[in-house]
């Protein structure tokens, strides 16, 4: 779980530095694999999602990532903002 959260943090840094590709790679890697605490991952992913949405909302790859995060959020209602 800590590894996934660290990847999200790296993704946020990449997004803020203008590297969408690296941001999405880190975000997607964080979502892969067995997750012990989906709510914790979603909460840490909010910051990355906000950066991606704010900076890159028109990019198809960003839209795909955000859709993937939303799908994960639907599995655990109440953990993503509406």
Going by pLDDT thresholds of 50, 70 and 90, the confidence category of residue 76 is: low
DSSP of 30-44: HHSS--S-HHHHHHH
Mean pLDDT of 60-72: 89
pLDDT at position 21, please?
97
15-64 pLDDT, tens digit each: 999 999 999 999 999 888 666 667 777 777 889 999 999 999 999 999 99
With beta carbons less than 8 A apart as the criterion, state whether 72 and 38 touch. yes
Token representation of residue 72: 């994960």
Query: In the structure, what pLDDT confidence band is assigned to residue 69 with cuts at 50, 70 and 90?
Result: confident
Q: What is the pLDDT of residue 51?
A: 94
Helix ranges (DSSP H) in the chain: 2-16, 20-31, 38-56, 60-75
């Amino acid at each position: 779980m800590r590894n996934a959260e660290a990847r999200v943090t790296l993704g946020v840094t990449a997004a803020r530095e203008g590297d969408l590709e690296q941001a999405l790679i880190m975000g997607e890697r964080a979502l892969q694999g067995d997750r012990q605490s989906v709510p914790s991952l979603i909460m840490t992913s909010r910051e990355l999602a906000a950066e991606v949405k704010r900076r890159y909302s028109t990019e198809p790859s960003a839209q795909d990532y955000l859709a993937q995060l939303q799908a994960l959020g639907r599995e655990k209602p109440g953990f993503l903002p509406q």
